[in-house]
Structure 1
Amino acid sequence: MAKGDVQMRVPDQLTYEESATLALGAITVGQGLYQKSLKLNLPTDPIRTKEHVLIYGGGTATGGLAIQFARLSGYSVITICSGEDSERLKLLGAEECFDYRDPNVADKVRRLTGNNLQYAWDTVAIESSAKICANALSTYPGTQYGATNPIKSPRSDVQSSSIVMYTMFGESFSFGAQEFARSTEDFEFAKMFMGLTEKLLREDKIKTHPGVLKEHGLAGVLEGLDELKAGKVRSGKLVYRIADTPDPREC
């Protein structure tokens, strides 16, 4: 069962396999960039001045979406990613790409932005990525660090926040040991943002993440999870067709 108010129609130019790579990344971007963490201008009200935003993990499915949305909102997008993803991410709208393996990456971002970077959104959200973002952000007051996991910036002068996108459904739930109350506000935002995302997809202003179609449908998912844990999946999202699932009566 799914709430129809927060679903998106698949546009004619996309296959179901391509659409599957969006998953819940869109609302994660919505909450992280706009509603909760960075509170940037929406694509419907783009900024008119030069302002940078840093997306850490641009090569991830969520990071690639974030680059595109931030660009549509008028921001100059910098991303930290794997070097092999740079050209693809520039096509999505990143103005500058830096390799996360470069020990001087944070200094390079700070020099590029003239120590004026106010916004960083971290789609990897581990201790090392939070540290790089902290060192890239401006030393002036008012800097914002948002993350997809509950991790804080190591800098006390940076405002940190994280999101749990399941609040989009407007229902109470538990996540680990934490209880979340029903949020009508998050549900209303999700309805608006998923509608906006559907429109941008239909207008071909948003590209989906590269998909890797795997065999055996749902029966292949556990193997795919093992590949993810082993670090064998890079720059692509595993996709499975339910119709490809073997009939257990025929196995």
Structure 2
Amino acid sequence: MNKITIAIDGFSSTGKSTIAKQVANHLGYIYVDSGAMYRAVTLYAMNQGIINKNGFDVETLIKKLKDIKISFKFNKDLGFAEVYLNGNNVEQTIRSLEVSRFVSKVAAVSAVRKKLVAIQRNIGKSKGVVMDGRDIGTVVFPDAELKLFMTASPETRAKRRFKELISRGDDVVYENVLKNVQERDYIDSNRKDSPLIKANDAIEIDNSNLSLEEQFEKVLQLVGIALEVSEIKKSD
């Protein structure tokens, strides 16, 4: 059966991972959360005292990149692959607001991006992959058969993130979550290396007022079209 590569980019808290998991499960494709990889590197940097509220020792992080091992292990009970950092399951830890505060700064380091992009490309070399992040359609898989760009208002995204953190038991304030969303938007969109931009051939989806079911149905229609186009090109 013909398989394609699906690249899903967009701003933080737009539900990229949720839709990517749904599509991957539906198609039987590999799902890769590239953002989780950057979060894992950030967690490592935090644990090593390389980055904190007082500063960021970029050179030390670059030197220690060789010591960072990131892998994904499928959890059949959850239905998706969890992230492991140097052999330890960090799936929940990397989702904290503390990690969110620093991840955009870590992701802006060219050496970090180079290391992770190489891993991501290797994972997707056989197609049949759904990957979400910030530069999947522009840098990692510029030839992806389907590129989506997810967006929603900062306020909508902050409310979603706030509810998620509260449901996990985190002690957070909505205003701080909104500030974090806005700061990450600015850093992601203005970094020199692989800034967050919509690929020219990406299809934008504003899900501010879409239910998960409506979004899933819309994306599945686009997947169907991409598969048909890919099959036609393959037979030509």
So what's the TM-score if we normalise by structure 2? 0.32
* Bigger helix fraction: 2
* Bigger relative CO (Cα 8 Å, ≥ 6 apart): 2
